Amino acid sequence: MILVNYIACIILIVLGFYVILTKKNILKIIIGMGLIDYGINLLIISIGFNPGGTAPIFTFTELKPESFFVDPVPQALTLTSIVIGACVTAMALSLVIKIKEKYGTLDADKVRRLNG
Amino acid sequence: MNSIVILNTLVIIAIIVSAILTVKFDNLLSSIIALAVTGSFVALEFILLHAPDVAIAEAAVGAVLSPVIFIITLKKVKEGKER
Amino acid sequence: MQHFPILSIVTLFLGAFLTVIFGSKNETVRKFIALVASSISLILVLMLIKPVMIKNNVIQYWLGNWRPIHDWAIGIGLEVDALGLFFGIIAVLTIFLSIIFSFKYTKKDSETDKYYVLFLMLSGAVLGLVFTGDLFNMFVMIEIMTFAAVGLTAFRNYQEGALEAAFKYLVLGSIGSSMVLAGTITIYSQVHTLNMAQISALLFNNLTPSALFAFALLLAGFSLKAFVVPFHPAAPDAYMSAPSSVSMAFSGMVNKAGVYAIIRLVYVLFHAMDFKSVQILLIIIGTITMFIGVTMALAQNDFKRLLAFHSISQIGYVITAVGVSTALGLTAGLYHALNHTLFKGLLFLTAGAIFYATGTTDLNKLGGLARKMPQTAAIFLIGAFSISGLPPFNGFVSKWLVYQATFQANLAPVTIIALLVSVMTLASFIKVAQSIFFGQMPKEFENVKEVPLSMRIPMWIMAILCVITGVLPNIVTKYLVSPAVTAALNIGKYIDLMMGNGYSEKILGKPIEIPAVDFTLAGYWDPIAWLVLFALLLIAVTIVAVAGGFNAVSLPTEVDDPKYDVFFSGEASEHSHVKGNDLFWGLKHDLRHYFGFMHDAHSGIINDYALWAIFTTTIFIVYIFLLVP
């Protein structure tokens, strides 16, 4: 429950949305999507933090009723989310390579043959 | 204020500074390197929050894999700077 | 019986993996695997109708047998009640018919093994979404669905605009998924569980500000998946560029998954339908969606883009009817969702047949194809009359229920707008029928033939289903729709059966009684009477035609004398077919400011589309904070 972490997460997410909304190069938009992923992953782990706890990795004999550890469920969610973010980046980059072959430009003002 | 709190605050300030640098650079290669630096600092923050397996995954993906495929794409697209 | 839901999901994913291993070289093997996987899934889901819908059981299944300990859920659970099974039946039917259509349709494409892999993963993800009972599992299934959809949109990358449509769909879909994830994690920080039944029990009368923030984010994220109006611009590009069997799956399954998620969120998770402000929000969004969808569709030049805008408009009908939260409204919404899959799938398959036969879907280049493709023309007319709401077909029943539900809730302006939208739908389909099927045929389509048989069978099956659900509404409502409505409104039973009996003591109320929905379809508009009338007229016309009453008096000189030709002011008589652009030109000229504004707003630039999405999310957040207590 650390306040500084939450402020950093909000700043990362807002910066990511700013890049998607205003920058015109398609590769820059993909960098913005990556920033949003970093912000959300940091938010998930910061929610699950108990002050004074240890890492939730135990063997069977070490786990006692008075062990105090941080919440393990958000860590599982974060692992899934990191992998999904990497896959989205890979798929978007392969589409960018084909767009450059066909359209000749990477400017968002010119890649707009479907409109209206 | 013990040292853990000071270290946490310093790493958070480093994350925010490198994220702002990612947005402000015009050259695409510099932007990608700033993104990789942000990812490394986020992995360091995960260690401070007692999540070691997530830190390993984030370091592997955000600091090694993503910049490598970005740089491969830049080479194939032959694009240097924004606009 | 407990294992049928999980088996039907796993079969589809297993089919996808087997196609990669065995089917990359041999074409017969991959078609066989796809057909077998989808048939097994269809049979398993159809066998679940009897226990779940008729006997009112609810099937729950904990993955890995991790049952709740001390009343706290620790595993992922699947819960199949009547609402989930209703959408599951729609999904498996679409999958099966689309795979049969795509056997011959992808004959000219290369690399069709990747098509079947992506399509089977898309269908597995949709079934997983409607059968699950865990909020994070829903997020993972949405992500798989988005990936497979992007891959299938960019499948024919020689076509104009397919790659940019896929890129825009990826960016906007990623924004939506991020909002769903942020909403999920905000809910988790309050209740410390991810099971939907337990969240619903712990949030009853307990809405803190962080729960309201999560509600707004989840509503915005799921609306982006369902393509409601301010989030819609990626939809027409994506539907237009995908192959037609995939477009049918998009408008039949992927939209409905978004609508199912909205219903589950608003009715079950947050009990938010007791607040009047949430009802008004859904009704306003639904009405705007209906209206903007159909007015944009009147001015389009491409057949599949026009069908995509009509798809957006019909989803507006469903969301408006769901927002009027009476039992009649929910019945109308769910019945219209079922009908929409049937007739919109039929129309997209017709577009696919025309593209296969002629190679283009531009309305200004086609014409007069009814002579060469008569069965396709008949099926298209059945679909066009269904979507406009004419009596013996199924669109009439559900639209009548929508009008009745909104009128009984004292919302007369919404009824008037719904009627206007119906009329404009009929107008735009008359335009399409004239441009494609009737009129003169251009010279390059001389040797166009009818499509092969394996492509016609799914179209005929869907047309017959359209007629059946229109003529027998009582049976469909009693066995399929009413159990789903009961399940959506009866939340205590959902929670009890998931977490063990007695858990819903935290919900201090009693279950809501469901008033019986009776179909007094106001006398004149009884569908069976209209069908009998049409049959009598058909017999009368046939008798007169056979007895020779329709032979026109023939002039002595028919063809060769040039003084009887039409005078074209000195030039030879040319191709004078009335094209799609020429119809309704007066309406388009009178409203040119509105149409010009809308065409400029759909500019094709991706930053503008993202701006609409984020702006609407902000309005949702502010509205829900201010107005929901």
* Domain CATH number, residue A99: 1.10.287.3510
**How does residue B16 score in pLDDT terms, banded at 50, 70 and 90?**
very high
Assess contact for C317 and C399: CB atoms under 8 A: yes
Residue A46's H or E segment, with its range, is helix A26-47
Q: d(Cα C336, Cα C314) in Å, to the nearest integer?
A: 8
Q: Is the pLDDT of residue C563 over 80?
A: no
Q: Looking at the complex, does the CB of residue A31 fall below 8 Å from at least one CB of chain C? A: no
**How does residue C521 score in pLDDT terms, banded at 50, 70 and 90?**
very low
Q: d(Cα C28, Cα A37) in Å, to the nearest integer?
A: 42
Residue-wise pLDDT for A77-113, tens only, equals 999 999 999 999 999 999 999 999 988 888 888 888 8
Assess contact for C478 and C49: CB atoms under 8 A: no
From chain A, pick out residues whose CB is under 8 angstroms from the CB of B24.
none
Q: Is the pLDDT of residue B83 over 80?
A: no
pLDDT of amino acid B62: 92
Q: Is the pLDDT of residue C508 over 50?
A: no
pLDDT of amino acid C541: 83
pLDDT of amino acid C444: 78
**A98 falls within a domain:** yes
From chain A, pick out residues whose CB is under 8 angstroms from the CB of C151.
91
Residue C445's H or E segment, with its range, is none
What average pLDDT does this structure show over C610-616? Answer: 93
What average pLDDT does this structure show over C539-546? Answer: 81
| Burial class of residue C399 in the structure, from the number of CB atoms within 10 Å of its CB (0-12 exposed, 13-18 middle, 19+ buried) | buried
What average pLDDT does this structure show over C213-241? Answer: 92
Q: Do C610 and A20 touch (CB under 8 A)?
A: yes
Query: In 3D, which of A65, A56, A55, A70 has the Cα closest to residue A1?
Result: A70
What C27-35 contacts at long range (C-beta under 8 Å, 24+ apart), as own/partner pairs, is C27/C112, C30/C112, C30/C113, C30/C116, C31/C103, C31/C116, C33/C116, C34/C99, C34/C116, C34/C119, C34/C120, C35/C99, C35/C100
Q: Do B83 and A24 touch (CB under 8 A)?
A: yes
pLDDT of amino acid B59: 95
Structure tokens at C344: 């919109």
Q: Looking at the complex, does the CB of residue A43 fall below 8 Å from at least one CB of chain C? A: yes
What 3-state class would DSSP assign to C74?
coil
Assess contact for C165 and C123: CB atoms under 8 A: no
Number of structural domains in chain A? 1
Give A 54-93 residues with CB within 8 A of chain B.
Answer: 54-57, 69-70, 75, 78-79, 82-83, 85-86, 89-90, 93
Q: d(Cα C122, Cα A106) in Å, to the nearest integer?
A: 29
| Burial class of residue A62 in the structure, from the number of CB atoms within 10 Å of its CB (0-12 exposed, 13-18 middle, 19+ buried) | exposed
ipTM for the assembly: 0.95
**How does residue C592 score in pLDDT terms, banded at 50, 70 and 90?**
confident
Least confident of C90-104, C235-249, C421-435, C517-531: C517-531
Tally of CB atoms within 10 A around C554: 7
What average pLDDT does this structure show over C469-493? Answer: 80
Q: d(Cα C431, Cα C581) in Å, to the nearest integer?
A: 9
Chains contacting A with at least 3 CB pairs below 8 Å? B, C
pLDDT of amino acid A113: 84
pLDDT of amino acid C523: 43
Give B 17-56 residues with CB within 8 A of chain A.
Answer: 19-20, 22-23, 28, 31-32, 35, 38-39, 42, 45-46, 49-54
Q: Is the dihedral of CA C318, C323, C328, C334 positive or negative?
A: positive
Nearest 5 degrees, angle CA C172-CA C174-CA C176? 75
Its domain, for residue A95, covers 2-51+70-113
Q: What is the DSSP letter of A56?
A: S
Q: Is the pLDDT of residue C454 over 70?
A: yes
Tally of CB atoms within 10 A around C457: 13
Assess contact for C348 and C388: CB atoms under 8 A: no
Place of tokens 């009887």: C564
Query: In 3D, which of C35, C1, C54, C30 has the Cα closest to residue C483?
Result: C54
Q: d(Cα C48, Cα C78) in Å, to the nearest integer?
A: 14
Assess contact for A53 and A70: CB atoms under 8 A: yes
What average pLDDT does this structure show over C311-331? Answer: 89
Question: Which residue did the predictor score with more confidence, C328 or C550?
Answer: C328
Q: d(Cα C31, Cα C20) in Å, to the nearest integer?
A: 12
pLDDT of amino acid C582: 73
Least confident of B8-12, B30-34, C489-493: C489-493
Q: What is the DSSP letter of A69?
A: B
Residue-wise pLDDT for C160-181, tens only, equals 889 999 999 999 999 999 999 9
Q: Is the pLDDT of residue C326 over 60?
A: yes
What average pLDDT does this structure show over C506-529? Answer: 53
Q: CA of B71: which chain A residue's CA is closest? A: A93
pLDDT of amino acid C285: 93
Assess contact for C450 and C369: CB atoms under 8 A: no
Q: Is the pLDDT of residue A69 over 50?
A: yes
From chain B, pick out residues whose CB is under 8 angstroms from the CB of A27.
28, 70, 73-74, 77, 79, 82
Question: Which residue did the predictor score with more confidence, C138 or C472?
Answer: C138
pLDDT of amino acid C67: 82
Assess contact for C210 and C190: CB atoms under 8 A: yes
Q: d(Cα A6, Cα A3) in Å, to the nearest integer?
A: 5
Percentage, residues of chain C above pLDDT 70: 90
Q: d(Cα A114, Cα C166) in Å, to the nearest integer?
A: 12
Tally of CB atoms within 10 A around C85: 25
Q: Is the pLDDT of residue C514 over 60?
A: no
Tally of CB atoms within 10 A around C590: 10
For chains B and A, having 3+ Cβ pairs within 8 Å is answered yes
Q: d(Cα A58, Cα C415) in Å, to the nearest integer?
A: 62
Tally of CB atoms within 10 A around C125: 25
**How does residue A1 score in pLDDT terms, banded at 50, 70 and 90?**
low
Chains contacting B with at least 3 CB pairs below 8 Å? A
**How does residue C565 score in pLDDT terms, banded at 50, 70 and 90?**
low
Percentage, residues of chain B above pLDDT 70: 93
Q: What is the DSSP letter of C51?
A: I
AA identity, residue A100: K
Q: d(Cα A75, Cα A47) in Å, to the nearest integer?
A: 10
Nearest 5 degrees, angle CA C543-CA C556-CA C563? 125
What average pLDDT does this structure show over C546-560? Answer: 63
Q: Is the pLDDT of residue C522 over 50?
A: no
Q: d(Cα C149, Cα C229) in Å, to the nearest integer?
A: 20
Q: What is the DSSP letter of C61?
A: E
Least confident of A8-17, C334-343, C575-584: C575-584
Chain mean pLDDT for chain A: 90
**How does residue C575 score in pLDDT terms, banded at 50, 70 and 90?**
low
**A75 falls within a domain:** yes
Distance from CA of A47 to the nearest CA of C (A): 6
Question: Which residue did the predictor score with more confidence, C573 or C233?
Answer: C233
**A74 falls within a domain:** yes
Assess contact for A33 and A87: CB atoms under 8 A: no
Hey, where are the domains in chain C? 4-627
pLDDT of amino acid C545: 76
Q: Is the pLDDT of residue C121 over 80?
A: yes
Q: d(Cα A47, Cα A44) in Å, to the nearest integer?
A: 5
Q: What are the C-alpha distances in Å from C606 to residues B83, C176, C418?
A: 16, 15, 31
Q: Is the pLDDT of residue C20 over 80?
A: yes
Q: At what angle do helices C162-191 and C209-226 cross, to 10 degrees?
A: 160
Q: What are the C-alpha distances in Å from C272 to residues C134, C204, C262, C267?
A: 19, 10, 11, 6
Residue C79's H or E segment, with its range, is strand C77-80
pLDDT of amino acid C547: 74
Q: CA of C184: which chain A residue's CA is closest? A: A44
Q: What is the DSSP letter of C50?
A: I
Assess contact for C283 and C276: CB atoms under 8 A: no
Q: d(Cα C48, Cα C45) in Å, to the nearest integer?
A: 5
Residues in chain C: 629
Residue-wise pLDDT for A18-67, tens only, equals 999 999 999 999 999 999 999 999 999 999 888 878 888 888 777 777 78
pLDDT of amino acid B55: 94
Query: In 3D, which of C178, C484, C226 has the Cα closest to residue C333?
Result: C484
Q: Do A86 and B50 touch (CB under 8 A)?
A: no
Assess contact for C138 and C261: CB atoms under 8 A: yes
From chain C, pick out residues whose CB is under 8 angstroms from the CB of A40.
178, 181-182, 185
Place of tokens 């993503």: B66
Q: d(Cα C598, Cα C616) in Å, to the nearest integer?
A: 17
